[in-house]
Amino acid sequence: MPDADELSEFLRGSDLRVTRPRVAVLSAVYELPHASTDVLLEAVRTELPDVSHQAVYDSLHTLTAAGLIRRIQPSGSVARYESRTGDNHHHVICRHCGSIADVDCAVGETPCLTAMDDHGFTIDEAEVIYWGTCPTCSNHLS
């Protein structure tokens, strides 16, 4: 996980002002992949107890717009954030406990970006979600 100096460089490299809330939010997203806004708010408040909800929401929005983090929102779930960006990976989600894990593209070099019929669109991202039962829940269900 990057330290505070590296996170500050990420912000500067994206032409963003370095603020304590932004660094804390970015750090929390790295520490807690696929975390919800509420979980990230709690994590940020351990470092910055007086940070407002709005500062965290604004930071998440800004960091997402800059491409430093990615926002995902699986069906039936709240928005979640991750630091893995730019590689068009996918996710697998447990139907029982809601745990989420990253999954690389199915085969080869991002085959999911080649649609059967693109309707004239230039496709730059595909969102695929695999649903199933995680190993922990499988053990409890059997």
Instruction: Mark whether 92 and 76 lie in a shared domain.
Output: no
pLDDT (tens digit per residue) in 15-59:
999 999 999 999 999 999 999 999 999 999 999 999 999 999 999
- Residues 122, 56, single domain; the answer is no
| Residue spans of beta strands (DSSP E) within 12-109 | 35-36, 70-72, 80-82, 90-94, 100-103
Instruction: List all residues 6 or more positions away from 30 whose beta carbon is below 8 Å from its beta carbon.
Output: 1, 2, 7, 83
Residues 52 and 116 in one domain: no
Rg (CA), the chain: 17
* CATH code assigned at 98: 3.30.1490.190
Q: Let me know whether 118 and 63 are in one domain.
A: no
Residues 76 and 95 in one domain: no
The residue from 81, 107, 128 where one domain ends is 81
- Residue 43, domain extent: 4-81
pLDDT-based confidence at residue 79 (cuts at 50, 70, 90): very high
More confident residue, 112 or 12: 12
Q: Are residues 65 and 110 in the same domain?
A: no
Please check whether residue 98 is in contact with residue 92, taking contact to mean a CB–CB distance below 8 angstroms: no
Res 109: pLDDT: 56
Domain count for the chain, please give it. Answer: 2
Residues 58, 36 share a domain: yes
d(CA 77, CA 59): 21
Instruction: Dump pLDDT digits (tens) for 89-108.
Output: 889 999 999 999 998 876 55
| Residue 109 per-residue DSSP state | S
Q: Select from 35, 55, 81 the last residue of a domain.
A: 81
